Chains A and B, each alone.
Chain A
Amino acid sequence: SQQGEEDPQALSIQEGENATMNCSYKTSINNLQWYRQNSGRGLVHLILIRSNEREKHSGRLRVTLDTSKKSSSLLITASRAADTASYFCATVLTGGFKTIFGAGTRLFVKA
């Protein structure tokens, strides 16, 4: 990808389980964001974490950021079938406002 990688590329879990997705990036960032995309649809903004923050919560979502390792993780707790989607991290580069997307993780939650 233009900026970094995400792993796993695909994840299949049972409803009720937790899902963890990881994102790595290459350059210094201003902030990192996570988005969800249902098949063939537009992006849904989930959460933004700034470069000076280490952890952020929003409902069932927990995001961590480790700027020393240039990595972030998204945890979805108590997953639901409706969480089935592709999840992308996106970084806004330092000194600019260009947003670069990671490769994405395709999450499938089985009911």
Chain B
Amino acid sequence: GAVVSQHPSWVICKSGTSVKIECRSLDFQATTMFWYRQFPKQSLMLMATSNEGSKATYEQGVEKDKFLINHASLTLSTLTVTSAHPEDSSFYICSANLRQALNYEQYFGPGTRLTVT
């Protein structure tokens, strides 16, 4: 089946620095990818929809200047957490859509655990 990878799988950074997380579709092209954030013992919250070649669409309450999304190719989307703070510590998961006939199948990456100290 289709595979989505994320890099890094975990990262620790200091408060005030920026962190980039990559999401790659390994064996298919994805015009659309999604970024989710998950706090401990909570569900996945959709942050934004990443569209190849255009600006990302952010969900209400998500700061677009803080969470920069770039979808420069059909297999790669990146999420940059700028000026990270401890409250940004979370599990970030991406997903990529693969169109199958008339339906879309969504494939999730393994997640990136971000810890901001």
Contacts and interface: CB of A to CB of B under 8 A. Distances in A.
Interface of A: 1-2, 30-31, 33, 35, 40-43, 45, 50, 88, 90, 92, 97-104, 106
B108 A43 contact: yes
Given A88-B44, A99-B34, A103-B43, A30 B111 contact: no
B54 interface: no
Interface residues of B, number: 23
B103 A101 contact: no
B46 A98 contact: yes
B46 A100 contact: yes
Closest 10 CB pairs of A and B: A42-B110, A97-B104, A101-B44, A43-B108, A104-B43, A42-B111, A101-B43, A103-B43, A97-B97, A99-B106
Contacts, number: 51
Nearest to A97: B104
Given A42-B93, A42-B111, A97-B32, 15 more contacts: A1-B45, A2-B45, A2-B46, A40-B91, A41-B111, A42-B108, A43-B93, A50-B103, A88-B43, A90-B44, A92-B106, A98-B46, A100-B46, A101-B36, A103-B43
B75 interface: no
B113 A40 contact: yes
Contacts of A101: 36, 43-46
A90 to B, nearest CB: 8
A35 B109 CA distance: 13
A98 B49 contact: yes
A97 B32 CA distance: 9
B4 to A, nearest CB: 10
Given A2-B46, A102-B43, A97 B59 contact: no
B43 A97 contact: no
Contacts of B106: 33, 92, 97, 99
